[in-house]
Amino acid sequence: MTDYVDLRALALVLLASFGGGVGLIALYAVGIRALAVGQDEGRRGATVVAVASFTVVVAGVLIGLYLLVSA
Amino acid sequence: MDPATVMLATVVITALAFDFTNGFHDTANSMAAPISTGALKPKVAVALAAVLNFVGAFLSLSVAATIASGIVDSGSVTITVVFAGLIGGITWNLVTWLMGLPSSSSHALIGGVVGAALMAGGLGAVLFEGVIAKVMVPALVAPVVAAGVCYLGTVSIYRISKGAPKSLRSDGYRIGQIGTASLMSLAHGTNDAQKTMGIITLALIVSGSQSEDAGTPFWVVFSCAVAMGLGTYLGGWRIIRTLGKGLVDITPPQGFAAAGSSTTVILASSYLGFPLSTTHVSTGSILGSGLGRRKSEVRWAVAGRMALAWLVTLPAAALVGAVALSIADAFGGATGFAAVSVLAVITVCGLYALSRRTRVDHTNVNDEWTHDGAVVAKRPKRRTRERATSRPPAGGRSD
């Protein structure tokens, strides 16, 4: 920690923002892509991937809600 | 009614007025992207944001009464300093709203309090290390981090969902935006309404109306939630327009990336003890969404104006706070508060009258951005307007 910046907190914010933010956004995109493949080609595996991706994203939103209430 | 009660009542009303301006100033942070992409109709978006801001205000009371702690010497904070600080914050919020520029309401309030404290107690009243650590560093960090997260998010989205049908992409990302923007509205209500609750509680303690360990009364929580919700519902259309149309023309995937990035950065920073301004984060995210999509135009002139407004926020609000304190002190007591209040009302009316010249509301918030360099588009003359209304209304972009 310097006089002006709490470097540890900043590092954690960067880690959580880039990991969580980019990760969840990319996962949502995977869900959309998998949904498209499932619809077009009727592959059950793709639909499972889509459901799993959206479930993880929803879990991420719920974690965010928990952080908000408990902060 | 004795003068002390009049002064306390004036501070409470002024704090609620600040909360109201905070609400409509920051509606854009969560709803500019969903409105711009057509994920939500403008009126529906601000209504949703208003309800969630109202609910959010009840979720947590942990940061109440901390707005200027570590920034001004607590011994120099009097009820007059708090009042003058609020006037500084409100004035700067309204000036930036008139210009359609998103700027941090928290920084405006801190600026107002710093200016009033400087005038009341001299240089020793301001803790400059705190100003650097809590205002300047976060103001630099917030847009850069948010832009970085959103840039990578936008690039990922376009690469991953490249082969998906356009309609599925548009609908999917529009739904996603509604979820993330809603969470952000909730977070805004939780974080920002508490600042006003803290100020009112502080005023109650300083005036001797409440003991220090009594906590925040329910009527304070409720009235702050109502003021924030009403302000949000009014919708700061000018700022929504600048963020949603002026900075970048946002598509649904970009809007989802921007809302998702903003929400993640805000929640992570609040939880990990490195609070960042929602305005700076949202603006950075939208900028990042423009950089992350090929052929997307980022209007750097608009971004430059925003950056300039952020630089000026603290000194400008401080100047108004200092002037307000001088006037209040010159008259003294309740008379001083009344004089400043009258001047503030005149200023608010003047700014509102100016805003009517180039009106921006839910009917024209999504109109195409003009390239004449003006942040707020001028309303066309009647004949041009009639011709324009014969065209189909401008909605969100598909992709």
The answer to whether residue A4 is domain-embedded is no
* Tally of structural domains, chain A: 1
Residue B121 touches chain A, beta carbons under 8 Å: no
**Parent domain of A41:** 23-70
* Predicted local distance difference test score (pLDDT) of residue B68: 66
Of residues B137, B156, B263, nearest to A26 (C-beta)? B156
Of residues A26, A32, A64, nearest to B183 (C-beta)? A64
Interface list for A 4-43 with B (CB within 8 A): 4-6, 9-10, 12-14, 16-18, 20-22, 24-26, 28-33, 35-37, 39-40
Of residues A21, A37, A61, nearest to B261 (C-beta)? A21
The answer to whether residue A48 is domain-embedded is yes
How many angstroms separate the CA atoms of B399 and B382, rounded? 32
Q: What is the ipTM of this complex?
A: 0.93
The verdict on a CB contact (< 8 Å) between B156 and A21 is: no
The answer to whether residue A50 is domain-embedded is yes
The answer to whether residue A32 is domain-embedded is yes
* Predicted local distance difference test score (pLDDT) of residue B394: 44
The verdict on a CB contact (< 8 Å) between A18 and B148 is: yes
Residue B151 touches chain A, beta carbons under 8 Å: no
The answer to whether residue A11 is domain-embedded is no
* Predicted local distance difference test score (pLDDT) of residue B395: 46
Per-residue pLDDT tens, chain B, 399 aa: give them. 788 889 999 999 999 999 999 998 999 999 999 999 999 999 999 999 999 999 998 887 664 445 667 788 878 888 999 999 999 999 999 999 999 999 999 899 999 999 999 999 888 888 888 888 888 888 889 999 999 999 999 999 999 988 888 888 889 999 999 999 999 999 888 888 888 888 898 888 888 888 877 778 899 999 999 999 999 998 789 999 999 999 998 999 999 999 999 999 999 988 888 888 899 999 999 999 999 998 878 899 999 999 999 999 999 999 999 999 999 999 988 999 999 999 999 999 999 999 988 889 888 888 888 765 455 555 555 555 555 544 444 444 545
Retrieve residue B314's tokens: 């603290």
> What string of H, E and C letters represents the secondary structure of chain B?
CCHHHHHHHHHHHHHHHHHHHHHHHHHHHHHHHHHHHCCCCHHHHHHHHHHHHHHHCCCCCCCCCCCCECCECHHHCCHHHHHHHHHHHHHHHHHHHHCCCCCCHHHHHHHHHHHHHHHHHCHHHECHHHHHHHHHHHHHHHHHHHHHHHHHHHHHHHHHCCCCCHHHHHHHHHHHHHHHHHHHHHHHHHHHHHHHHHHHHHHHHHCCCCCHHHCCCHHHHHHHHHHHHHHHHHCCHHHHHHHHHHCECCCHHHHHHHHHHHHHHHHHHHHCCCCCCHHHHHHHHHHHHHHHCCCCCECHHHHHHHHHHHHHHHHHHHHHHHHHHHHHHHHCHHHHHHHHHHHHHHHHHHHHHHHCCCCCCCCCCCCCCCCCCCCCCCCCCHHHHHHHHCCCCCCCCCC
The answer to whether residue A46 is domain-embedded is yes
